[in-house]
């Protein structure tokens, strides 16, 4: 058995949370993502003036989702993400911008494979689910 095989076997048993280094890595990822949101002309106005609380929920949610402690559920209850996003006008363009920032943050945080690929797949699917406003110009209609 090669070292690569051993790594793969070990990774199969570990949650993504454990594979990527636990809470510290999720805080770095979310810090990096929010630094991008803060600079983004389309995203920044969608978010509240004070970003700190949302940032904390985002980090706690992601840790829980990827197999870490369930502190989000304890403090906040069921995620109900679509409902929690309903007050924010999320167009396809906003989704693309959000995804671009998150995928870049994953790379800048040096999250290794296979966790990187799993996280990218998840964010691509989940971001599509969060779109709640489709403007006539975006929906393919011709009139």
**Can you tell me the distance from the alpha carbon of 30 to that of 47, in angstroms, rounded to the nearest whole number?**
14
Which residue minimizes CB distance to ligand HEM? Answer: 54
Question: Tokens standing for 139?
Answer: 């929906």
**Can you tell me the distance from the alpha carbon of 122 to that of 125, in angstroms, rounded to the nearest whole number?**
5
**Can you tell me the distance from the alpha carbon of 49 to that of 28, in angstroms, rounded to the nearest whole number?**
21
Give the interface segment with ligand HEM, choosing from 13-21, 23-31, 87-95, 103-111 (CB under 6 A). 87-95
Among 90, 106, 111, 115, binds ligand HEM (CB under 6 A): 90
Give the interface segment with ligand HEM, choosing from 7-15, 16-24, 45-53, 134-142 (CB under 6 A). 45-53
**Can you tell me the distance from the alpha carbon of 116 to that of 119, in angstroms, rounded to the nearest whole number?**
5
Q: Which is closer to ligand HEM, CB of 6 or CB of 69? A: 69
Give the interface segment with ligand HEM, choosing from 1-9, 10-18, 21-29, 52-60 (CB under 6 A). 52-60
Q: Which is closer to ligand HEM, CB of 15 or CB of 85? A: 85
**Can you tell me the distance from the alpha carbon of 9 to that of 82, in angstroms, rounded to the nearest whole number?**
35
**3 state SS of 129:** helix
Contacts of 116 (CB under 8 A, 6+ apart): 106, 107
Footprint of ligand HEM (CB under 6 A): 43, 46-48, 51, 53-54, 57-58, 61, 76, 81, 84-85, 88, 90, 94-95, 98, 123, 126-127, 130
């Amino acid at each position: 058995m090669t070292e690569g095989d051993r790594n793969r076997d070990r990774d199969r048993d570990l949650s993504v949370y454990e594979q990527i280094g636990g809470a510290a890595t999720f805080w770095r990822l979310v810090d990096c993502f929010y630094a991008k949101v803060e600079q983004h002309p389309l995203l920044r106005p969608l978010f509240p003036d004070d970003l700190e609380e949302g940032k904390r929920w985002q980090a706690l949610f992601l840790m829980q989702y990827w197999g870490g402690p369930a502190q989000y559920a304890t403090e906040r209850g069921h995620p109900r993400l679509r409902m929690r996003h309903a007050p924010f006008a999320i167009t396809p363009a906003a989704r693309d911008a959000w995804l671009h920032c998150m995928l870049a943050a994953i790379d800048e945080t040096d999250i290794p494979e296979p966790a990187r690929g799993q996280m990218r797949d998840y964010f691509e699917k989940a971001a599509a689910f969060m779109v709640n406003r489709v403007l006539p110009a975006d929906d393919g209609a011709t009139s």
